[in-house]
């Protein structure tokens, strides 16, 4: 149910209505559409920057306290509150401006960055819970089921679409916050966390950075995990960026109306559900490493089709393939991380993988936004070049991933 809840935020806010809102209030021409894309990607990058600075601590908190839910709940509540404030700010009618932007729009940008930071932070605690829920054979199916239920949450979240009247996409922000809260209640009140084994409260919070640095140095003893962390950096780079820009890209480059994009997004979500279930079994059958390789190949085809598409039918195919790869990457990567890391240090390694993923969530959007800004005068060509740059990142990730050993060595 928490997969269900947080995917409503990821879908409604990060992927669909926040980008459409910025495009509507900023995109008065082809060139300004590219500037809107820059604001979308840069705000995502800034949020990820703070996550990079703080996420290494979160894994240490898990390992030192044994607690996950105790951190998950307050982080989720802050994300929900910030989403609510996005809606209130967007509804604020003011003529005041700062740095050339209306204060209402600046408020939405600010609260979006806070909401996305706490949303992503909560996932570190949530993802690490999976190792408590089953054995090695059960975890791939649990992971696949959880991700698939999350994408069903995407479908439910889109019930707010009728509230978009006259292109007032901001009308969806407050209802999305309410649904995020509603469907988070089961994990808050019904989930019983295993009692913490030990806790050392005398250790300074700042000492966590030293321990993370020690984990990086120790990672050479877990070469397979370290290699995959590098590969995941590039995979997540492309995935996180595409999620942030797909709505505006479909609208401005491919000529999709809002309604057409919602339908495309529904089809992509159904593809994600199928991919999540399917790759739970593929992972168990082929192994997590081969499954990740297969997902990366699907992602390459999807991005190539999208960046070169000249007809909407090609973009429909790209969206469906991307949906499969997005859902499957979560399933396969989470399972592989569990397989590659020792149980007693799993919290730290999840923190490290989050660190890798979030650094990429700075680099990818910043790269995309910089390309659209630099080539804004060329109109939609700027977006095609920016999307095409993601293809290079996935190929690099795949080349690194093939170096992950087939037989996973234990630490020595």
Flag whether 197 is in a domain.
no
Strand partners, 101: 98
Number of H helices, E strands in the chain: 14, 2
Contacts of 268 (CB under 8 A, 6+ apart): 319, 320, 322, 323, 326
Burial of 271 (0-12, 13-18, 19+ CB in 10 A): buried
Residue 411 is predicted with a pLDDT of 43
Domain CATH code at residue 132: 1.20.1250.20
- Tell me the pLDDT of the chain (412 aa) as tens digits: 899 999 999 989 998 899 999 988 887 677 787 888 888 889 988 998 888 888 777 877 777 777 888 889 999 999 999 999 999 999 988 888 786 778 899 999 999 999 999 998 898 888 877 777 777 777 777 777 887 788 788 889 989 989 988 889 999 999 999 999 999 999 999 888 776 665 556 556 666 677 667 767 776 677 888 888 889 889 988 988 888 888 889 988 898 888 898 899 888 888 888 888 888 888 888 888 899 999 999 999 999 999 999 899 999 999 999 989 988 887 888 888 888 877 776 767 776 776 777 788 888 888 888 998 898 888 888 889 999 999 999 999 999 999 887 655 444 3
The CA distance from 19 to 112, in Å, is 11
**Number of structural domains the chain divides into:** 1
Query: Phi/psi class of residue 257: alpha, beta or left (left: φ > 0; alpha: ψ in -120 to 50)?
Result: beta
End-to-end CA distance of the chain: 39
DSSP string, 18-59: HHHHHHHHH-SSHHHHHHHHHHHHHHHHHHHHHHHHHHHHHH
* Torsion angles phi and psi, residue 5, rounded to 5: -70, -50
Flag whether 317 is in a domain.
yes
Flag whether 311 is in a domain.
yes
The CA distance from 256 to 261, in Å, is 6
Residue 382 belongs to what domain range?
A: 2-190+211-401
Flag whether 199 is in a domain.
no
Flag whether 379 is in a domain.
yes
Flag whether 132 is in a domain.
yes
Flag whether 244 is in a domain.
yes
Flag whether 412 is in a domain.
no
Q: What count of Cα atoms within 13 Å lies in the side-chain half-sphere of residue 301?
A: 13
């Amino acid at each position: 149910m928490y997969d269900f809840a947080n995917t409503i935020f990821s879908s409604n806010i990060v992927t669909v209505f926040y980008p459409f809102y910025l495009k509507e209030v900023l995109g008065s021409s082809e060139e300004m559409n590219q500037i809107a894309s820059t604001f979308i990607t840069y705000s995502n990058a800034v949020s990820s920057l703070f996550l990079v600075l703080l996420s290494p601590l979160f894994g240490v908190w898990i390992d030192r306290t044994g607690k996950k839910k105790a951190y998950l709940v307050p982080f989720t509540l802050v994300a929900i509150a910030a989403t609510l404030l996005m809606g209130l700010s967007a509804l604020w009618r003011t003529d005041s401006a700062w740095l050339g932007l209306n204060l209402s729009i600046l408020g939405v940008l600010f609260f979006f960055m806070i909401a996305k930071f706490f949303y992503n932070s909560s996932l570190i605690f949530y993802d690490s819970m999976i190792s408590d829920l089953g054995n090695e054979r059960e975890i791939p199916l649990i992971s696949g089921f959880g991700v698939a239920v999350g994408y069903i949450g995407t479908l439910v979240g889109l019930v707010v679409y009728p509230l978009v009247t006259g292109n007032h996409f901001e009308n969806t922000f407050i209802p999305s916050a309410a649904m995020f809260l509603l469907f988070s209640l089961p994990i808050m009140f019904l989930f019983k966390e295993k009692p913490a084994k030990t806790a050392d409260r005398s250790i300074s919070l700042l000492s966590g950075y030293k321990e993370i640095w020690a984990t990086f140095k120790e990672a050479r003893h877990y070469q397979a995990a370290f290699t995959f962390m590098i590969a995941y950096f590039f995979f997540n780079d492309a995935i996180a960026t595409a999620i942030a820009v797909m709505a505006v890209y479909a609208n401005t480059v491919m000529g999709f109306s809002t309604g057409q994009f919602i339908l495309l997004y529904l089809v992509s979500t159904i593809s994600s559900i199928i991919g999540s279930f399917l790759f739970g079994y593929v992972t168990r059958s082929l192994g997590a490493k081969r499954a990740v390789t297969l997902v990366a190949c699907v992602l390459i085809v999807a991005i190539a089709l999208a960046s070169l598409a000249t007809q909407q039918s090609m973009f429909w195919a790209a969206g469906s393939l991307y949906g499969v790869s997005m859902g499957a990457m979560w399933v396969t990567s989470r399972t592989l991380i569990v397989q590659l890391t020792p149980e007693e240090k799993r919290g730290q390694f999840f923190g490290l993988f989050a660190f890798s993923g979030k650094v990429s969530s700075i680099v990818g959007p910043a790269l995309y936004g910089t390309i659209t800004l630099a080539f804004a005068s060329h109109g939609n060509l700027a977006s095609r070049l920016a999307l095409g740059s993601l293809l290079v990142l996935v190929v690099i990730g795949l080349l690194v991933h093939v170096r992950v050993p087939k037989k996973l060595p234990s630490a020595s």
